[in-house]
Homo-oligomer: A and B are copies of this chain.
Amino acid sequence: MPYEVRAVARVTGGRHEVADDGWAGVVAVIELAPDVPDEALIGLDAFSHVEVVALADRARDVPPAPWRRRPRDNPAWPDVGVFAQRNKDRPNRLLVSVARIVRVTERAIEVEGLDLVAGTPVLDLKPVVAWNAPRGTVRTPSWSDELGADYY
């Protein structure tokens, strides 16, 4: 059964082309959609970081994109399932990004380090809270650490 979702905000500024790496210094703005009232953002300025759920509207869904691939087609890395990677070509094309809040204005959030290109529809915004961090030690395979080394 399909569900319908809609954009509550949109990314403006920042990068205009999709890139693999170097997102740390990128400053972008998340602007509320016209039908979302100002009050939806009240209190967000008390948090340092925001979690952004977005729809990668320029990416490919799965299928036609494959259920399994070698991340970035790098022959040194293993051929793993789409749920073992965070790449944008995925079922439902949903992205979850964390960015630092620079400033919250009446209808927008200025952010640093958001890995989403200008124009990307935003489906939800959530404050980053300490109690939602992974519980226990985080273990990751070496290919993922290598992939992430230059991401931010």
Contact = CB atoms under 8 A, between A and B. Distances in A.
A147 to B, nearest CB: 8
A140 B48 contact: yes
A17 interface: no
A129 B100 contact: no
A137 B100 CA distance: 9
A140 B47 contact: yes
Interface string A70-84: 000000001111111
A91 B148 contact: no
Given A4-B2, A67-B40, A94 B124 contact: yes
Interface of A: 1-8, 24, 36-37, 39-44, 46-51, 53, 55, 57, 67-68, 78-86, 90-92, 94, 96-98, 100, 113, 121, 123-141, 144-145, 148-149, 151-152
